[in-house]
Chain A
């Protein structure tokens, strides 16, 4: 965000327009790269995003400016809000479709801004490709076509020379196989937070 430090200072002193600038700059990234992977649910991610920015507005005066800018601070707030929601909703719900642990972005690799989040996604695709190479070629193909290349069911079925109905079975088997291979390679696919 241009002149971020000045914008943050204005927002911290109660300037609502400055705060809106921050919101518009970072909310989409927090939603797509932090909250959806952690929660696996659009509505929950939406609720957490709102709570994140309300908390940010209340506590912005306590933020101390540093080189990394505001994004890491907002990201920590968002993660805390997501964890609060997961704790409140219970263990069963937290498993559903959440995949934050799969991203393997902990520690020093933690993205510091939206551009780095995008770079991390590129790195993730490389890791995914390396796992796909170990799979049964048909499983790898169904995952590539259906999930990475966004081909329709009919196209996938034609490419794999199966009936459309059989594609669901192939997809299910391929997902199980991917999970096992990823476990072996250290690309975490644990389903617990």
Chain B
């Protein structure tokens, strides 16, 4: 079925969650986003998790990440690209 402007899916919530939290969604999109949250407890939990994660790590700088963690992450992304 074609996308409806009347509602969004859980997948679309995942795609839009950052814009919603950062309040950059257009008003109509934010309204259908919140309508979805009004009946979907799973997405409420998801949005809360993303919000908490941003609050927890949003102020990290590159210097805050230990070199060994940086190396592991870089290796993981290199492997990911090869797959």
Chain A partners chain B? no
Q: Which residues of A contact B (CB under 8 A)?
A: none
